[in-house]
Amino acid sequence: MFSAAHSISLLFNANKVFDRQVIEGIGHYLQSTQVDWDVYLEEDFQCRLEHIHEWGGNGIIADFDDPQIRDALKDIKIPVVGVGSSYSDESLYPDVPYVATDNTAIVRSAYEHLKQKGMERFAFYGLPVDEGHLWAYEREQAMLELCKADSRECALYRGQPTSAETWQYNMNRLADWLDSLPTPIGIVAVTDARARHLLQACANINRLVPDHICVVGIDDDDIARNLSRISLSSVTQGCFDMGFQAAKLLHKRMDNPNLKDKRVTIPPVGVVERQSSDFKSIQDPYVMQAMHYIRQHACRGIKVGQVLDHIGISRSNLENRFMEERGHSVHAAIHQEKLNRACELLSNSNKPVKEIALVCGYRSLQYLYAVFNQHFGITPSEYRNRNRAKASA
């Protein structure tokens, strides 16, 4: 541990989920080791780049996926640790200690998840290739290589950068691409933000998710996930561990300036499965439409009658079709969707149990308790504690 405070600058964009989680990991290192650091994290870090060589601090941890940051830190004399993408081309790695997210492992997690769901057709929705998105190109190439190794084709669409002026045009072109794909098909999106584009475009052209198109994003971003009616399956990167390892590397480098450069590659945590990839082969078009409606509206407290109104057939007809395809009633399907959502929120959020009951369409907190007691023999709070204990084990 240092005997005197060190000034450390973090050059990250806190508006990005990747950067925020890396920063959280750095913070955990500070708390767990009690290093004596003064940490500088500015809202607009780019304003300092031009004069960063004049900064009198002791070390920097920076997002090296940003070409402006990479260029600004060339030949700087104080210890620097970079955080960013992994690369198949060794020459693309910076000449500093570096902590990389494993892009191949990330994409493999999404691809294998779709295969396990029964997908036999695959596609990738990426980003235009430029210097600022080299990580996106690495993920794209990883997907193409995985499909090639399995003797499968992979449809590729990069689209365009989004802006208010071009949004509708870009979404129309995305919809055209989706409309051209055979179904069912599994699509890996390069980020959760791009995955949300897919969900919106599918809704516009009546491509059912996940029955026609299964979608898996990357980042497990709360904001992107909650902006869609269909909850998004996503790969959780090991960003927290990346931040922790980056702080550890900087600590060693400041303690021993002659330490040789070191690279650490961090695997993903895994896929968080939600509705967008919950594919079950359904042949009956009425059951498929009904399940799509239920996934979108179950937590709004819908009843069987509203499903029937949406589909336009008699209750006995739809119930018979459900029993043949799914082995249970329409009411049971609505009930299960609400329960699944409640379980997800208990496991992955800090929302109060009373709020979760309302969000999931239960008429009272007591009713939610009765449902959990019937299904699991425990209270919602006990369910939350058990799942968090498993996750931290």
Burial of 163 (0-12, 13-18, 19+ CB in 10 A): exposed
Per-residue pLDDT 10s for the chain (393 aa) are: 444 478 999 999 888 888 999 999 999 999 999 888 999 887 666 666 777 877 778 999 999 999 989 999 988 889 999 999 999 999 999 989 999 999 999 999 999 999 999 899 999 999 999 998 999 999 999 999 999 999 999 999 999 888 888 999 999 999 999 999 998 999 999 999 999 999 999 999 988 899 899 999 999 987 766 677 788 999 999 999 999 999 999 999 888 877 777 899 999 999 999 989 988 767 788 998 898 899 889 999 899 999 999 999 999 999 999 998 888 899 999 999 899 889 989 988 889 999 999 999 998 999 999 999 998 899 999 999 988 776 665
Biggest CA pair distance of the chain: 77
Dihedral (CA of 202, 206, 208, 213) sign:
negative
pTM of the predicted model as reported, rounded to 2 decimal places: 0.76
- Helix runs in 73-227, H state only: 103-116, 134-149, 167-180, 192-204, 222-226
What the chain holds in terms of domains, given with CATH numbers, is 6-101+238-268 (3.40.50.2300), 103-236+273-277 (3.40.50.2300), 285-386 (1.10.10.60)
